[in-house]
Amino acid sequence: MPGILIVNKPASWTSFDVVKYVRGRCGEKRVGHAGTLDPAATGVLPLLLGSATRLTEYLVDTTKTYEATIQLGVVTDTYDADGEVLSRTDVSGITRQAIEAALEAFRGEIMQAPPAYSAIKRAGVPLYRMARRGEEVAPEPRPVFVDSLDIIEYNAPALRLRVTCGKGFYVRSLAHDLGAALGVGGSLSGLARTRVGSFRIEDAVDMDTLKAELGTGAWQRRVWAPDEVLLGWRAAILGDENATRLRNGLDAFVTPREGVDVSEGDLCRAYTPDGGFLAVIRALDRDRWRPEKVFLGS
């Protein structure tokens, strides 16, 4: 049963724990997830089942929304509450106005250094393993995008933020870097992911409910169609000749409507006349499209 199952990951479970549990009980060997959450974090974890796993890269590339609680005045080596405390600073002089001013530097296209305690690999070794061995780890800053960043509540020393960001953004680094910008330090004390792409926390099933439904088969009614991942994209309905060409790995010839701009490399979802999700196709020019991934009848 290919599709997308949205789980509300509980604290203490790793993302792989959820994948492993569902894989062992749903009858589908191919189960993956889109976007790892730290064990202490909660919230939206999309699981991709069966052939839908081939769409993982597109879901990982979508924006995500988090609600984060930052403990100002506390610095840890892991940038969160699980790490060793390195310093404590009084934050009574930090005002909401000062925080608002500091947040401006963290919006839009920014450079961000990932935490040393992260799963990013160097020479095939995760950085967190190197850091735990006492090796010097200084990840290079890399470009990330922050679509929006707003204060939900500030009750010193606890600061709650809502952040919508792109791929590769670390909320732990935001907590650390914002604390440094305010001159008092900071670390992440709580994190909930409320959205991944078009999938919201309201769409997610909690693990207790899912456990029960996996035993009865009722979980299947929660599975979204694979192409839900792509619903923000343009779509093309193809005739039989073009559909056959795609199934055979050949280019399709599709002329967009007048006024629709198409650039080389643009992606599109393709359907058969009866509405079946057929393929992801990529533009070679305005009228010629190459199959990236074929699903129906492949």
- Copy the structure tokens of residue 13: 């479970």
Give catalytic status of residue 38 as yes or no.
Answer: yes
Residue type, 255: T
C-alpha distance from residue 92 to each of 73, 150, 155, 157 (Å): 9, 21, 10, 8
> Beta strands 108-112 and 205-206: pairing type?
unpaired
Residue 242 backbone phi and psi in degrees, to 5: -65, -40
Q: Where are the alpha helices (DSSP H) in 27-80?
A: 56-60
| DSSP alpha helix (H) spans, the chain | 15-26, 56-60, 96-103, 127-132, 171-182, 207-216, 240-247
Q: What is the largest CA-CA distance in the chain?
A: 70
The catalytic residue among 38, 80, 177, 227 is 38
Please name the residues in contact with 232: beta carbons below 8 A apart, sequence gap of 6 or more.
197, 198
Residues marked as catalytic: 38
